[in-house]
Amino acid sequence: MQSRRDVQRKQDHSRAVHTLKWTLITILILILVIWSSLAIANHPKQAAKRQATQIARRYGHLTSTSNFYIFNREKTYYTVAGKNSQGQQTLVIIPQSGGDVHVLKQSKGITGQEAINKVKNDKHPRKVMKAAPGFFNDRVVWEVTYVNKRGSMCYDLISFKSGKYVQQIDNL
């Protein structure tokens, strides 16, 4: 015959195993929900990247790709960076809503890193978020997004050709 202590130990052990089992199931469900939410949220971007890359390969004759950018201003543009069949660094800028595809040789303007460096040297931001090429007022620009020293979001548009500021939006 089992003593009360033995019965109590078995019940405690059973409860602990039951609690551990449900805790693990809950954690697993949370991980799956978060993962699926991220996958669903990222799907439109991946679809846009896939379609833009196909267009860039066709119109820009890209043989390899290195970056994908999204530029949101008056209109949305997708840009695919890569090398063309002659081995030249190329940017292919594609309007989201359709229209002319613009193929630019990177050597004809500044790079995204040069635009970032200009902002870093001139503005001394706390953190640079991204640089993305696109069109603003019929000019090719690099949009550099950053957080300034005060913690406010800022956007600088820098001319692709000249490297000069086109527009600066501070403290959003």
Beta strands 102-105 and 89-95 are antiparallel
Domain architecture of the chain: domains with CATH: 112-169 (3.10.450.40)
For residue 5 the two structure tokens come to 């202590």
For residue 60 the two structure tokens come to 């820009």
Residue 116 has pLDDT above 90, yes or no: yes
Whether 12 and 18 have beta carbons less than 8 Å apart is answered as no
Report the candidate in 89, 95, 81 with the shortest Cα–Cα distance to residue 48. Answer: 95
Average pLDDT over residues 80-91: 95
Q: How confident is the model at residue 29 (pLDDT cuts 50, 70, 90)?
A: confident
- pLDDT for 38: 73
Q: What is the pLDDT of residues 140-165, one digit of tens each?
A: 999 999 999 999 999 999 999 999 99
Residue 39 has pLDDT above 90, yes or no: no
Q: How confident is the model at residue 86 (pLDDT cuts 50, 70, 90)?
A: very high
Average pLDDT over residues 44-48: 82
**92 vs 106: CA distance, rounded Å:** 10
- pLDDT for 1: 61
- pLDDT for 114: 97
Whether 95 and 66 have beta carbons less than 8 Å apart is answered as no
* pTM of this structure: 0.74
In the chain, the percentage of residues whose pLDDT exceeds 70 is 95
Residue 49 has pLDDT above 70, yes or no: yes
- The residue length of the chain stands at 172
Q: Identify the bridge partners of residue 37 per DSSP, sorted by sequence position.
A: none
Please calculate the CA angle 50-56-60 and round it to the nearest 5 degrees.
165
Backbone angles phi, psi at 27, to 5 degrees: -60, -45
